[in-house]
A and B are shown apart, each in its own frame.
Chain A
Amino acid sequence: MKFDKPAGTNPIDRKMVIGKATDRIDGPLKTTGTAPYAYERHDVVANQAYGYIVGSTIAKGQIASIDTADAKASPGVVGVVTWENAGKLGTSHWHTARLLAGPKVEHYDQAVAIVVADSFEEARAAAKLIRVQYKRADGQFDLAAQKASATKAGDGADSAVGDFASAFASAPIHLDQQYTTPDQSHAMMEPHASIAAWDGDKLTLWTSNQMINWAVDAMSDLLLIPKENVHVMSPFLGGGFGSKLWVRADAMLAAVGARVTGRPVRVTLTRPMVFNNTTHRPATIQRIRIGSDKDGKITAIGHESWSGDLPGGGPEGATNQTKKLYAGANRMTALRLAVLDLPEGNAMRAPGEAPGLMALEMAMDEFAEKLGMDPVEVRIVNDTQVDPENPNRPFSQRNLVGCLRKGAEAFGWNKRNPKPASVRDGRWLVGMGMASAYRGAPVMNSAARVDIDRNGVVTVATDMTDIGTGSYTIIGQTAAEMMGVPLDKVVVKLGDSSFPVSSGSGGQWGANSSTAGVYAACMALREKVAAKLGLDPKSAVFENGTVSAGGKSAPLTDAAGLSAEDRIEFGDLSRKYVQATFGGHFVEVAVDAYTGEMRIRRMLAACAAGRILNPKSARSQVIGAMTMGAGAALMEELVVDKRFGYFVNHDLAEYHVPVHADIPHQEVIFLEEEDPTSSPMKAKGVGELGICGVGAAIANAIYNATGVRVREYPITLDKFVEQMPRVA
C-alpha cells in the first residue's frame, strides 16, 4: 500500500480498540519471568557451549601476539577464537569499528578473543589465561583538545538562512554561550546477548536486536554468507535505546565461535564490557547565539556543535532541532566532527535532539531572563507554523503552543517566582523550570502478514521488535480494530526474520510505521474476506467477529484460512511537510541550601504527538524518557581516561542512572491530535519525545532554585555548591 496522500476516514478512526488505555498483552509473560530473552533459550538447540569475550586493554595500536595455549588447555574449553583463526570475515557498513580486533585495535575493550567452554565458569576462568601482547599507539581522547581540529561533518552539516552575522551583531538583546554534554551510555538492563547455531552453512541467531533486517544484513556481510542463510530471532529485548540497532560482538563472535568449534554458542557481554565494547552517545561542545528585538522575537539564531568519533564515524546531530523549533529570519547551524579514538559513538535515544535541547533550552531560559520575559511566553512568541529554513514547507501539525499553555496551567507555572533563589521550604531552596520538547517523526516502510484461523483468531506476523515500547500491544490493537475482533482474539508474533520486514524499532518511528504496515496487511485481508463472503469490500464493516455490508452479514470464521501480506510504503508527504512531535516539560526541584543536594519534586510533560495508539504504554514511554533525561541532567557521564582512552566508570555502580529514590510521581498530558499526513494510523511516536528538553527543564529549575547556572552537564553539586547563596 502506497501512502502518498493524507489519510481520509478509515477503519482505525472507529477507535473501538485503538486509543484505549490497554494493559500490555505481553504483561503476563514479562511479570512472571516467562518471556524468553536471548540468552535464555535453553529450549531452541541442544549442546550449547558458553562463550566469554576478552576485550582489548589498549585503545589504539596493534596486537603483537596472542598466547592462547593455556586457555585452550584449561578444563572444559572447547576452543578459542581470535583474528588469527576466525577465518575470513567481512565488514558491515553498519559499524564504524570492527567487532573483532586484529591485528589493528581501534578502541578499548574491542573484542580480541572469545573462549568457548562447556560452562560459563570454565569459559570465564580460561579467558583470564589469554595473554595478549600489544603495540600501543598514541590516540586522541579529549574532545576539547581536538575541537580546533574538527572538520565539517559531511554534506548537510551546515545550514544558513539570511545574514546571521549582521543580524546577531545588531540585535539589541543577545546571548552567546557555550554548553557541554558528556558521553553517555544506553545502559539498558539486558546486556547484549546471542546464541548462534549452524546447520551446514545456515546460521540461526537468537539475539537481542532492535532491527531484525539490519541484523540479517550485517551478519551476512560479516560472515560472508548469503542473507537467505541467516535466520535472526529477537522476540524480547531487555531494552536497547539505540544500543541494539546493530548486531554487536556477542552476535558475531557467537556465530564465529560456533563455526570454529562446531557447537552452538551462547554469549553475553559482561556488564563492564558493555560500556567500552559497544556504542555510546558522544559528548558535545555546543555554542548557541540568539539575538532578538526587545519584544523577544528572535531575529538571529545560531547553533554550532562539536563532537568526536572514530575515523569514518559521524557527528552527534545536536543542531537538528534548532533548524525547526523557533522562528527567526537569520539563522545558521554547523556540525563539526573531530577524530577521537574512544569507542564508537552512535545513536542513543533521540540522537541529536536529546543533547541539542539540553543546550538550546537552557540558552532559551537565559535568553528569557535577559529579556525579562516569562520562559513560556518567549517560546510562544517565537512559534512558527512553517519550516523556518524553508517557509514554503509547513508543519503537518504543530501544537507546541498548546503543549506549553496546557502544561503550564496543569503544573501551576504561574506560581513560579522568576527571581532565582527566592523560594525557601525549610532547608530547601525550591525552583521551577521548563523547556520545549521537539523530536522529528520519521517513518519507515513496514510490512506484515495477517491471517485468520477457524476459531476466528487473527494472527499478525512481522519482524517488528518490542524493546519495551509496547509494540506487541499496539500491533494487536491495530489488528483487532481492523478485523473487528476483541484484542484477546489476536496473536502477535514479532522479531523473526522469517516474517515480513518491518520498520524495526528506532528513531521513535516504530509505533506509527509498524502499525501502518499491519493496517496495510489488514486492508488486503479485509478485501479477501469480503470477496470470499460475497460482500462489498468498500462498505464492509468488521465488528464483533462479524462482517456486514449491504444488509448481509457473515461470521469472520467463514473466512478462516485466509491470509494477506502487504507493506506500507511512504511517499513524499514527509518531504512536503515537516513531521514532528512537540511537548512542554515542567519540573520543580528542591536544592538543599546547606549541602546542595538536589531532589526532583515534580515532573510534568504535555505532548502533541499525533494519535496516541495506547495511552497507557505511550505514557510509560514518556515517563521513562523523562527519567532518562533526569539522569542526563543530574548524573550520567562516561568519564574519559584521557591518557589511555577509555571510559573509566564502566559499570552500574559508577555510571549512575536514576533509581527509585531519584524520581517523583510523573504526569503526562497528551493533547488531542491526529495527523493524516503521518500514516493511515494518524500517529507519530512518543518514545523519544519525552527525553527531549527535559534535562534543560531540570537545569533551569535548579537555576531558579539557586541562582547558579551550570552549563556543563551533568549538573553535579561539585559544580555549583561553592556558588550557592549564603544561608541566612
Chain B
Amino acid sequence: MNDDNPIGINRREMLASGFATAAATSVPISAQAKPQPADQPNRMKVTMTVNGEKRTLDLDTRTTLLDALREHLELTGTKKGCDHGQCGACTVIVDGRRINSCLSLAVMHPEAEVTTIEGLGKPDKLHPMQSAFIRHDGYQCGYCTPGQICSAVSTLQEMRDGIPSHVTADLEGTPPFSVDELRERMSGNICRCGAYSNIMEAMLDVAGERA
C-alpha cells in the first residue's frame, strides 16, 4: 500500500484501462497501444459495524460496499440490480442514512455503522416494514424488496427528521406527510414487477396512515 496513492490506482493502470476501452472498438490492431497487465491489486483493511457486529475485512480496494457485503460477508440480502446506482436494489443504511452501496467503495467506510436488510429483521422476527410488505403484497419477485424496505424505513425517518424532497414546496419546517412525498422519495428504488401501489399501502400502514 503506497500512502501517496491511497486509492490504489497508478497512472499506468489508468492508461492501461483507458487504452483497453479504446481497444474494444474496431480500430486496426497496429494503431492500438498494447495494454499492460495490471499490478497486484492494492489491498486494505477496513473495519465496520454491520448489523451490530464489528467486522474487519482485508479487501481489494476496488471492492464496492455492495460486494463487500454480498461476496465477503455473505450478506446476500442486499441485491445487485445494476451496479451503477440506477436501480436502488443495493440500498443499505449507513450511519443512519440510506445509500446505494454499489456506488461506494467499502474502504470509504471505516468505522461506519451499516444496517442491511438482514439487520432489520429475520423471518421469525420481522421488522414492522417487512411484515407490512408481506401483508400488502408489496413485492413479487423479491429482488428489489430488500432495497425497497431499507429505503422505506429510511424515508419515514427522513420525513420525521424534516428533510425536504424535490416535491416539498416549503423547504423550511416539516414536510407534509403525503403519498406524493413518499412516491418521490422512493423513486430511486425501481420495482419492475410493479408493486408500487402496494408498497405505498405498506408504508402508509407503518406510518399509521391510510391510503
Binding site for B on A (CB under 8 A): 23-24, 26-37, 39-40, 42, 54, 57-58, 65, 70, 73-76, 119-122, 125-126, 128-134, 136, 186-191, 236-241, 268, 270-272, 467-470, 616-617, 619-621, 623-628, 651-653, 657-661, 663-666
Q: How far is the CB of B98 from chain A (nearest CB, A)?
A: 14
In the bound complex, CA of A119 to CA of B42 (Å):
13
Identify which of B117, B144, B194, B200 contacts A625 (C-beta below 8 A).
B194
Identify which of A30, A134, A628 contacts B139 (C-beta below 8 A).
A30
Q: Mark B172-211, 1 if CB is under 8 A from A, else 0.
A: 0000000100111011111111111111100000000001
B87 at the interface (CB under 8 A from A): yes
B77 at the interface (CB under 8 A from A): yes
B96 at the interface (CB under 8 A from A): no
List of A residues within 8 angstroms of B16 by Cβ = 128-129
Identify which of A40, A134, A652 contacts B190 (C-beta below 8 A).
A652
List of A residues within 8 angstroms of B126 by Cβ = 28, 31-32
List of B residues within 8 angstroms of A54 by Cβ = 24
6 additional A-B residue pairs with CB within 8 Å, beyond A237-B141, A660-B199: A36-B76, A57-B25, A74-B37, A189-B193, A652-B81, A658-B196
In the bound complex, CA of A666 to CA of B37 (Å):
54
List of A residues within 8 angstroms of B17 by Cβ = 125, 128
List of A residues within 8 angstroms of B60 by Cβ = 119, 121-122
Residue among A40, A187, A621 with the highest chain B CB neighbour number at 10 A = A40
In the bound complex, CA of A188 to CA of B87 (Å):
11
List of A residues within 8 angstroms of B41 by Cβ = 75-76, 119, 121-122, 125
Residue pair B137, A133 in contact (C-beta under 8 Å): no
In the bound complex, CA of A640 to CA of B117 (Å):
38
In the bound complex, CA of A39 to CA of B134 (Å):
24
Identify which of B67, B80, B141, B198 contacts A188 (C-beta below 8 A).
B141
In the bound complex, CA of A652 to CA of B90 (Å):
14
6 CB-based A-B contacts, threshold 8 Å: A31-B142, A32-B118, A70-B36, A270-B83, A271-B81, A652-B82
Residue pair B142, A30 in contact (C-beta under 8 Å): yes
In the bound complex, CA of A286 to CA of B143 (Å):
35
Known: A58-B26, A663-B196, A665-B200. A189 touches B143 (CB 8 A): yes
Residue pair A628, B134 in contact (C-beta under 8 Å): no
Q: How far is the CB of B190 from chain A (nearest CB, A)?
A: 6
Identify which of B37, B71, B197, B199 contacts A664 (C-beta below 8 A).
B197
Residue among B63, B78, B187 with the highest chain A CB neighbour number at 10 A = B187
Q: How far is the CB of B64 from chain A (nearest CB, A)?
A: 9
Interface residues of B in 51-87 (CB under 8 A from A): 60, 62-63, 67, 70-71, 74-84, 86-87
Name A666's closest neighbour in chain B (CB-CB). Answer: B197
Identify which of A32, A190, A271 contacts B86 (C-beta below 8 A).
A271
Q: How far is the CB of A607 from chain B (nearest CB, A)?
A: 15
Residue pair A42, B194 in contact (C-beta under 8 Å): no
Binding site for A on B (CB under 8 A): 16-17, 20-21, 23-26, 29, 32, 34-41, 60, 62-63, 67, 70-71, 74-84, 86-87, 89, 116-118, 120-124, 126, 130-131, 133-135, 137, 139-146, 149, 179, 182-184, 186-200, 211
Q: How far is the CB of B209 from chain A (nearest CB, A)?
A: 13
In the bound complex, CA of A32 to CA of B130 (Å):
7
Known: A32-B123, A37-B143. A75 touches B38 (CB 8 A): yes
List of B residues within 8 angstroms of A42 by Cβ = 74, 76
Residue pair B123, A29 in contact (C-beta under 8 Å): yes
Identify which of A27, A36, A65, A660 contacts B134 (C-beta below 8 A).
A27
List of B residues within 8 angstroms of A660 by Cβ = 182-184, 186-187, 189, 196, 199-200
Name A56's closest neighbour in chain B (CB-CB). Answer: B24
Residue pair B26, A57 in contact (C-beta under 8 Å): yes
Known: A31-B126, A75-B39. A651 touches B84 (CB 8 A): yes
Known: A57-B26, A189-B192, A190-B143. A23 touches B123 (CB 8 A): no
List of B residues within 8 angstroms of A75 by Cβ = 37-41
In the bound complex, CA of A37 to CA of B141 (Å):
10
Q: How far is the CB of B89 from chain A (nearest CB, A)?
A: 6
In the bound complex, CA of A245 to CA of B86 (Å):
25
In the bound complex, CA of A617 to CA of B195 (Å):
10
Residue pair B35, A70 in contact (C-beta under 8 Å): yes
List of A residues within 8 angstroms of B118 by Cβ = 32-34
In the bound complex, CA of A659 to CA of B197 (Å):
11
Name A687's closest neighbour in chain B (CB-CB). Answer: B140
Identify which of B35, B82, B192 contacts A628 (C-beta below 8 A).
B192
Q: How far is the CB of A187 from chain B (nearest CB, A)?
A: 6
In the bound complex, CA of A133 to CA of B141 (Å):
40
List of A residues within 8 angstroms of B38 by Cβ = 74-75, 125-126, 129
In the bound complex, CA of A241 to CA of B116 (Å):
28
Q: How far is the CB of A373 from chain B (nearest CB, A)?
A: 32
Known: A36-B76, A666-B197. A28 touches B36 (CB 8 A): no
Known: A24-B137, A75-B38, A652-B86. A32 touches B77 (CB 8 A): yes
Residue pair B142, A133 in contact (C-beta under 8 Å): no
List of B residues within 8 angstroms of A663 by Cβ = 183, 194, 196-197
Residue pair B195, A620 in contact (C-beta under 8 Å): yes
Q: Which 10 A-B pairs have the closest CB atoms?
A: A33-B77, A238-B143, A627-B194, A468-B141, A30-B142, A468-B140, A624-B194, A40-B76, A33-B117, A28-B123
Residue pair B183, A134 in contact (C-beta under 8 Å): no
List of B residues within 8 angstroms of A119 by Cβ = 41, 60, 63, 71
Q: How far is the CB of B185 from chain A (nearest CB, A)?
A: 8
Residue pair A33, B116 in contact (C-beta under 8 Å): yes
In the bound complex, CA of A247 to CA of B79 (Å):
21
List of A residues within 8 angstroms of B86 by Cβ = 271, 651-653
In the bound complex, CA of A23 to CA of B76 (Å):
24
Q: How far is the CB of A459 from chain B (nearest CB, A)?
A: 19
In the bound complex, CA of A468 to CA of B198 (Å):
14
Q: How far is the CB of B57 from chain A (nearest CB, A)?
A: 13
Residue pair B140, A33 in contact (C-beta under 8 Å): no
Q: How far is the CB of B107 from chain A (nearest CB, A)?
A: 12
Residue among A240, A272, A624 with the highest chain B CB neighbour number at 10 A = A624
Q: How far is the CB of A137 from chain B (nearest CB, A)?
A: 11
In the bound complex, CA of A238 to CA of B137 (Å):
16
Known: A132-B24, A134-B26, A468-B140. A190 touches B81 (CB 8 A): yes
Identify which of A23, A236, A653 contacts B84 (C-beta below 8 A).
A653
In the bound complex, CA of A652 to CA of B144 (Å):
14
Residue pair B192, A239 in contact (C-beta under 8 Å): yes
Name B122's closest neighbour in chain A (CB-CB). Answer: A32
In the bound complex, CA of A75 to CA of B56 (Å):
23
List of A residues within 8 angstroms of B190 by Cβ = 189, 652, 657, 659
In the bound complex, CA of A538 to CA of B34 (Å):
78
Residue pair A661, B70 in contact (C-beta under 8 Å): no
List of B residues within 8 angstroms of A40 by Cβ = 70, 76
Identify which of A129, A134, A268 contacts B37 (C-beta below 8 A).
A129
List of A residues within 8 angstroms of B122 by Cβ = 32, 34
Identify which of A35, A128, A468, A620 contacts B21 (C-beta below 8 A).
A128
Residue pair A652, B87 in contact (C-beta under 8 Å): yes
Identify which of A74, A616, A623 contacts B197 (C-beta below 8 A).
A623
Identify which of A132, A468, A666 contacts B193 (C-beta below 8 A).
A468
List of B residues within 8 angstroms of A23 by Cβ = 134-135, 137
List of A residues within 8 angstroms of B194 by Cβ = 623-628, 658, 663
Residue pair A651, B82 in contact (C-beta under 8 Å): yes
In the bound complex, CA of A160 to CA of B39 (Å):
68
Residue pair B192, A187 in contact (C-beta under 8 Å): yes
Q: How far is the CB of A185 from chain B (nearest CB, A)?
A: 10
List of B residues within 8 angstroms of A470 by Cβ = 140
Known: A70-B37, A128-B21, A270-B83. A623 touches B145 (CB 8 A): no
Name A23's closest neighbour in chain B (CB-CB). Answer: B134
Residue pair A120, B71 in contact (C-beta under 8 Å): yes
Residue pair B121, A32 in contact (C-beta under 8 Å): yes
Residue pair B142, A32 in contact (C-beta under 8 Å): no
